[in-house]
Amino acid sequence: MDLGLGGKTALVTGASRGIGLATVRTLTEAGMKVVAAARTTTPELTETGAAVVNADLSTLEGVRGAVSGAEELVGDLDLLVNNVGGAVGDMVGGFEAFDDDRWQEIFDLNFFSAVRAIRCALPGLKRAGGSIVNVSSIGARIPGEGPHPYTTAKAALTALGSALAEQYGPQGVRVNTVSPGPTRTSLWVGDSEAGARVAAARGITVDELVKEVIGRLRITTGRPVEPTEVASVIAFLASPLAASVNGADYVVDGGVTKAA
């Protein structure tokens, strides 16, 4: 299906792996001129053919550099995908395990990175009549299923998307959210990532942890979400086919959250 994205421009943050990498691939295959922002450039990211801007997106300077670098490469953006996020160091433990500094670190990456990127890109998005897609999480809907700072940051991101859609929709900029459930990324299956640390703290393997999560959350598809499945929804929301979709939160979770 032709999504009508050929020749349009995009910036994808957190693009070196997982959902970000899958999104870069999907958008470039749809004909977009994509700039990928990431802390490091991986061989997989280079293979996509996207332009790469290296930046620490947890900082204001890094976000400014990523957006300005993207605009220098491709001009005004038709699409901003705020995907960067995830674990920051050791995120094992309940509420009392996180002090103010840890809360700030996690919010900087999972919430303020999007706030800053939107602020920087908004003038160009207005000129282009573009759109924004924020990658949140079902943790925003079931906050007890993850580290409190992370799920709270994602809830703030979901709320921000709704608020901005209301404000900027009349100005020609659509804002939507995609909320994945547990996804088959290195965050869950990597040997040194958050899933591995949680599994180690529990005295079980990562595979056992994933099976446990599938059962506890009642994922009706019986498996984690694939990054490409999230990327496909992002591409649709960016396309003219979704021209009347604004302020939506698309859940891609294998049936974890149940429709009323």
Structure token pair of residue 51: 């332009």
Name residue 24's beta-bridge partners: none
DSSP conformation letters of 169-225 = GGGT-EEEEEEE-SBSSHHHH-TTSHHHHHHHHHTS-HHHHHHHHHHHTT-TTSSPB
150 an active-site residue? yes
State whether residue 244 is helix, strand or coil.
Answer: coil
Cα separation, 152 vs 145, in Å, equals 11
Cβ count near 47 (within 10 Å)? 10
Cα–Cα distance list, 221 to 99, 117, 135, 179, 251 (Å): 37, 34, 21, 16, 14
Active-site hit among 98, 107, 150, 188:
150
Structure token pair of residue 6: 């050929």
Residues assigned a catalytic role: 150
